[in-house]
Amino acid sequence: MVSLGEIDVRAHFNNHIKSTADIQLLVDNFLNQLDIQLSGKCKVGVYSVIPPRKVDGVNTSSFSIPFLGTDQQRLQWTEELNNLLHVGCLARGFLFVDVWRDYALHVPASQEHYQDKDGFMDMSRSDGICHMVDPEPLRRFICGLQQKQEAGTL
């Protein structure tokens, strides 16, 4: 399993990403490298980018990495990035693990999520800054994958 990482949206999109084409290029370059390096050697799984946290009105000066863009911009960039990652994974036969929504779009929805009702990070499952620390929803998903693999249905 690999992850593109949330830091791209949190700190870099505001300065470097100007259009959907830029996001598509980022996704294509990432997935093409995975295809070159890993295809045929193992089952490739890609984690989605986790939900952004709300910071509008929060003093972020003590955080080591800036939160650039508005909450809504970072939410939109994350949604777009995850949608393009999902499509790219399907096209390449990679497993897409959607930790933002239901951990994978091709399996039944989980009861636990890392997002709040507005699509932002559920801060009760985080380190208080921007990282997920509650492993339970993802652990349950991975256990489900192991069961499917053992049953030969993955």
Residue 61: its pLDDT value, please? Answer: 74
Q: Is the pLDDT score of 146 beyond 80?
A: yes
The answer for residues whose C-beta is within 8 angstroms of residue 102's C-beta and 6 or more apart is 108, 109, 110, 113
Lookup: tokens for 90: 């399907």
- Residue pair 44/94 in contact (Cβ under 8 Å)? The answer is yes
Burial code of 126-152, b = ≥16 C-beta within 10 A, e = fewer? beebbebeeeebbeebeebbeeeeeee
Q: Is the pLDDT score of 3 beyond 90?
A: no
| DSSP-assigned letters across all residues of 70-92 | -HHHHHHHHHHHHHHHHHHHHHH
In the block, residue with structure tokens 């509008």: 56
Q: Is the pLDDT score of 154 beyond 80?
A: no
Residue 29: its pLDDT value, please? Answer: 92
Taking residues 124-144, what's their average pLDDT? 78
SS3 121: strand
Confidence tier at 92 by pLDDT (50, 70, 90): very high
Taking residues 58-68, what's their average pLDDT? 74
The domain spans of the chain are 2-151
Residue 45 phi/psi, 5° resolution? -125, 140
Q: Which residue has the higher pLDDT, 48 or 102?
A: 48
Q: Which residue has the higher pLDDT, 58 or 35?
A: 35
SS3 17: coil
- 45 bridge partner residues: 95
